[in-house]
Amino acid sequence: MSENADPLFDQETPRELPARIVIPPIKGEMVHLRPATIEDLPRLDELDAYYNASRITGKDEQSERAVVHAWVRRSVAWANGQAASESGVGDPESRRTIAWAVLTDADHDADGKTDAESTGNVIGMVFLIDIDGWARSARIQVLLGKDYRGRGYSRDMMPRVMTYGFAPTPAGLGMHRIWVAVPEKNTRSLSVYQSLGFSLSGTSRDALWDAENGKYQDLHVLDTLFDEYDPIRSLDAFGMHVIEDNPGVREALAAKEHSVAIRIRQDVADASASVAAADASDGRPAPDAGRATSSGDGQAAADEAIASSADDKASGNETSNWYYGPNEQRKPSKTAWWRNLGMNRKRDTEED
């Protein structure tokens, strides 16, 4: 459980969301995201994006279409600097929404044409909704066309959207918590979210109607917090790479380096304490006990370890594949996402 204090904000920092937002494009390895427009909404019908909504989100197709239209209109209104009440679908709590269109240039059937050419390369949308400036909380949701589910697109886009969501302003939204709500029968999405670092925080019993089986089903709520979420690890879990010029990524990398330095210093301190304890148990004096844990020597040891790690990276001996710069040759993915989730697990096509 995270500490209650928010390290990004002091008591005097305003917690209101800005009156206008510039929605950034986000690049992935399989897809890229751009701000969604009203003109994109008919494309979702062409993509049959609301197919089997009751299994994926627990809503019927008509309700799912209505709420998606509201989210896009709220997103466009915020980007235009309109108040929530001016969008036509305002939120009385002044919460906001960001909607991105998901685009790909993939040609899976190798016919020489982009699979989604008929819809302008759009294959779905991803949203940050219920953005609450006071609580620094937002919900994430993905909507994909029927034929584009189960291909791993969510695993490419979601960590990058969440990195932007958690990144401090002005690079990102400065959220403290990001959460999802998943019907119990959507086991595929539950696996994806847990692999991304989400933890089950609660269950609403019989909250949804399962029309397919004619019975009620539970709704699971999962979340992750700013100081729990590791954007590097969440990408690495699916064999994806960091793209450094995406919004919020440099801040995430800086935090990662800081965390590494802290762990190294702790390891140095633990090792020194162990040596001192062993010497004491043998009855030998330990003149150097505590020396390596002093701030100066601890810093030197940490710096040396970090420098050694940097040398390994420069020499090509780096064991992790999560980091690559814009001038660095792209490495193949370490492990395919489906291996991380289990080779023998049934691969249905109902991916959120």
Query: What are the pLDDT digits (tens) for 232-252?
Result: 888 888 889 999 999 999 988
50: closest CA among 36, 34, 38, 66?
A: 66
pLDDT at residue 290, as a whole number: 42
Q: Which CATH architecture has domain 26-240?
A: 3-Layer(aba) Sandwich (3.40)
161/243 Cα distance (integer angstroms): 12
Give me the half-sphere count of Cα atoms (radius 13 Å) on the Cβ side of residue 165: 36
Cis amide bond preceding 170, omega within 30: yes
End-to-end C-alpha distance for the chain, whole angstroms: 27
Residue 121 pLDDT > 90: yes
If one counts every other C-beta atom within 10 angstroms of the C-beta of residue 155, the result is 25
Instruction: Check if the beta carbon of residue 224 is closer than 8 Å to that of residue 176.
Output: no
156: closest CA among 242, 250, 56, 245?
A: 242
pLDDT at residue 237, as a whole number: 83
Whole-model pTM: value is 0.72
Mean pLDDT is lowest, of 37-46, 76-85, 121-130, 178-187, for: 76-85
pLDDT at residue 24, as a whole number: 97
266/244 Cα distance (integer angstroms): 28
Mean pLDDT of 108-129: 88
Query: Where do the domains of the chain lie?
Result: 26-240, 252-328
If you write DSSP's letter for every residue of 63-96 in order, what string do you get? HHHHHHHHHHHHHHHHHTT--GGGGSS--TT--E
8: closest CA among 255, 245, 283?
A: 255
Predicted confidence band of residue 163 (pLDDT cuts 50, 70, 90)? very high
pLDDT at residue 299, as a whole number: 47
